Amino acid sequence: MSSTWKVYLLALVSFLVGTSEYVISGILDKISDTLEISVTSAGQLVTIFSFIYAVCTPVMMALTAKVPRQRLLVIALGVFVAANALSFVVPGYGLFVLARAIMALGAGMVVVTALDIAAKIAAPGKQASAIATVVMGFTASLIIGVPLGRMATAEFGWRSVFGFLALAGLAAMVILAAAMPRVKGDAPVPLSKQLAFLKNGNVALGLSITFFWLGGYSIAYTYISPYLLDVAGLNEQMLSVALLVFGIASLIGSKAGGYSTDRWGVFPTLARGMVLHVAALIVLSLAVAFTHSWPLVVGLLALWSFAAWSTGPTQQMNLVQLEPNYSGIMLSLNQSTMQLSMAAGAGIGGVIVDQVSLSSVTWFGMVGVAIAITAALVLRGRRSAGQQKTEAVD
């Protein structure tokens, strides 16, 4: 098997992990009904997964740094498979929460290890493309995995989604064990060294952009299924179409964000993307309140998704530019911040649904993104001032 096909296999594994994380938002109402819990309690499954992913992944990767990458990937995927199998069979909310926690532990190690292997087995000069391919697998879970999860739920029940993921993961384990080369581990980077970068004001501001941008997005997206069914008035068939359109728009937005960053720079792209993000949420909220036109709602969902995910690659480049000599650490910190923000967004969204209303999640999500815009403007001002000071000294 060529290195190119091995990278595509790693992308497929990344797709499985992404589906396990994002699919909850697509089947939230079904989980709520079956387990006889509130929608907000079901939404906290996103909070638990993201929080454990964010906090435990850097620790686990530091502890397993010297383990050969192929072996670590198979072991981590084994944890992921076991957790999905547990999710398929366990009764009750408490045990399902435990299964999600175990799933997050395995998922974090799978994604980071897959990215590491992809960079190391790629042909010279193709490392960035290999990493992008693996990341594309994760993004594709929004496009394909979430709608497929909704369809499987309609046919076989929501637990079937995790049964299918367990079977697919088991097959991937066998193939990975046979096909992946024995890639050595790395020298561990102490967590203290990684966390020391948070003392840098510009880095802290840069990460705050990620936190509030994705946190605002997560407040609304976590509850997208009940929002579209109960507030926007979509039926089951329309919901599957809406989720598919949403996923496709996220991929287009990500590509557009990368192109815009290369052509016009980080800050113009960040500003345009997040302003459009805010505008899309406002118009969507008004459209849902005053009209139940499903084509309009689906179109606005696509605009929201496009705008939201156009910020992804731009923000990664923003952080790399802050500390170009430590790009790996910056991207690792950004990954943890992304998961923490999704956990916080899901948690805050649950409080909003309980204490305010389901229809208001888009308004509160907009506020989070607006704060991210403010942080981006402050960071731009600080960097401009720093450059002017450097030029004056020279």
DSSP state of 123: P
pLDDT of residue 58: 80
Same domain, 46 and 180: yes
CATH no. for residue 309?
Answer: 1.20.1250.20
pLDDT in tens, 294-326: 899 999 999 999 999 888 878 877 887 888 777
Structural domain count of the chain = 2
Same domain, 237 and 314: yes
Measured CA distances, 128 to 133, 147, 335 (Å): 9, 29, 17
pLDDT of residue 203: 92
Same domain, 253 and 146: no
For the cut 90, the answer to whether the pLDDT of residue 283 exceeds it is yes
**What is the enclosing helix (H) or strand (E) of 317?**
helix 294-322
Same domain, 103 and 208: no
For the cut 90, the answer to whether the pLDDT of residue 77 exceeds it is yes
> Which residue among 188, 215, 246 closes a domain?
188
DSSP state of 159: H
- End-to-end CA gap in the chain: 54
For the cut 60, the answer to whether the pLDDT of residue 337 exceeds it is yes
Query: Which carries the bigger pLDDT value, residue 67 or residue 372?
Result: 372
Same domain, 146 and 291: no
At 270, is the pLDDT very low, low, confident or very high (cuts 50, 70, 90)? Answer: very high
At 220, is the pLDDT very low, low, confident or very high (cuts 50, 70, 90)? Answer: very high
pLDDT of residue 257: 84
- Residue 287 phi/psi, 5-degree rounding, is -65, -40
For the cut 90, the answer to whether the pLDDT of residue 385 exceeds it is no
pLDDT in tens, 100-159: 999 999 998 898 888 778 877 777 766 656 766 777 787 788 778 888 888 899 889 999
Neighbour-count burial of 255, counting CB atoms closer than 10 A to its CB (0-12 exposed, 13-18 middle, 19+ buried): middle
Same domain, 14 and 141: yes
Give the C-alpha separation, 119 to 323, whole Å: 20
Same domain, 336 and 379: yes
Same domain, 158 and 22: yes
The b-or-e profile of 84-107 (16+ CB within 10 A means b, else e) is: bbbbbebeebeebebbbbbbbbbb
> Which residue among 144, 163, 188 closes a domain?
188
Query: Which carries the bigger pLDDT value, residue 52 or residue 135?
Result: 52
Same domain, 301 and 394: yes
Task: Let me know: does 118 contact 58? Beta carbons within 8 Å.
Answer: no
pLDDT in tens, 78-109: 999 999 999 999 888 999 999 999 999 999 88
Q: Where are the alpha helices (DSSP H) in 36-126?
A: 39-63, 69-89, 93-121
pLDDT of residue 126: 65
Tell me which residue range forms the domain holding 110. Answer: 1-188
Neighbour-count burial of 193, counting CB atoms closer than 10 A to its CB (0-12 exposed, 13-18 middle, 19+ buried): exposed
Neighbour-count burial of 170, counting CB atoms closer than 10 A to its CB (0-12 exposed, 13-18 middle, 19+ buried): middle
Query: Which carries the bigger pLDDT value, residue 282 or residue 43?
Result: 282
Task: Let me know: does 185 contact 67? Beta carbons within 8 Å.
Answer: yes
Task: Let me know: does 225 contact 28? Beta carbons within 8 Å.
Answer: yes
Tell me, what amino acid is at 32?
Answer: S
At 15, is the pLDDT very low, low, confident or very high (cuts 50, 70, 90)? Answer: very high
Provide the mean pLDDT of the chain: 86
Same domain, 155 and 235: no
Same domain, 249 and 267: yes
> Which residue among 150, 171, 188 closes a domain?
188
At 393, is the pLDDT very low, low, confident or very high (cuts 50, 70, 90)? Answer: low
Same domain, 164 and 278: no
At 188, is the pLDDT very low, low, confident or very high (cuts 50, 70, 90)? Answer: low
pLDDT in tens, 189-211: 677 777 788 888 899 999 999 99
